[in-house]
A = this chain, B = another copy of it.
Amino acid sequence: MSTVYTRPLARLVEQFQRLPGIGPKTAQRLALHVIKRPESEVKALAQALLDAKQQVGLCSICFHLSADPICDICRTPSRDESLICVVADSRDVIAIEKTREYRGKYHVLGGLISPMDGITPDQLQIQPLIHRASQATVQEVILAINPSVEGETTTLYLAHLLNPFVNVTRIAFGLPMGGDLEYADEVTLARALEGRQRVQ
């Protein structure tokens, strides 16, 4: 590699390759693109990287990514305080926010219980969740956690802990919209049947 690229270019290609989903070909394309852009654009990208890393921390209430001590969602008075949606990761908050359907608050666990990976409940933001859920204003906690082995474990664990304080629900699993019964896998179909609802 070092003979193919001039040194600073080789370093940039290598840095791009460390990013997820960026292989050698894409890293090369990105590096050659960057070199041809005006210096101001490259500086803007470099600065955005540093700023994001240095300024973005976690909300002290819900642990969502935030540049302020308390995130925009927790600070918005119009959001329903009686509802807390529990997710594994900040990217799940972003995904749900993009639906524009949910008007409650969130709680980001920061991962899922996974004894195999050495992630135990005390490494997740579970104590602060119990503290929040036990407050009188909270009526319902929605568990919006992936239906993986770790997700199921975490969901059951949380349901057990939270049920004494609050109504605990979980998001529905079933056939995706636009999906086809014929091509759905058995597990999805079984969950869809299990989660059937009365048609009024």
- Tell me the A residues contacting B by CB distance below 8 Å: 3-9, 11-12, 14-16, 18-22, 26, 28-35, 37, 39, 41-56, 65-68, 71-72, 90-91, 94, 97-98
Extra contacts, 4 of them, besides A8-B51, A20-B30 (Cβ < 8 A), are: A5-B65, A6-B71, A29-B91, A32-B65
Known: A30-B19, A91-B32. A8 touches B39 (CB 8 A): no
Contact of A3 among B6, B9, B54, B72 (CB under 8 A): B72
Contact of A15 among B29, B35, B48 (CB under 8 A): B48
**Distance A54 CA – B39 CA, assembled complex (angstroms):** 8
- For the complex formed, measure the closest distance between the CB of A8 and the CB atoms of chain B, giving whole angstroms: 4
Contact of A9 among B43, B46, B56 (CB under 8 A): B56
Is there an interface contact between B67 and A6, defined as CB atoms closer than 8 Å? yes
**Distance A137 CA – B151 CA, assembled complex (angstroms):** 70
**Distance A20 CA – B16 CA, assembled complex (angstroms):** 13
Contact of A8 among B19, B41, B56 (CB under 8 A): B56
Residues of chain B lying within 8 A (CB to CB) of residue A29: 20-21, 91
Nearest to A68 among chain B residues (CB) is B6
Nearest to A30 among chain B residues (CB) is B19
Residues of chain B lying within 8 A (CB to CB) of residue A54: 39
Contact of A35 among B3, B14, B32, B56 (CB under 8 A): B56
Is there an interface contact between B35 and A42, defined as CB atoms closer than 8 Å? no
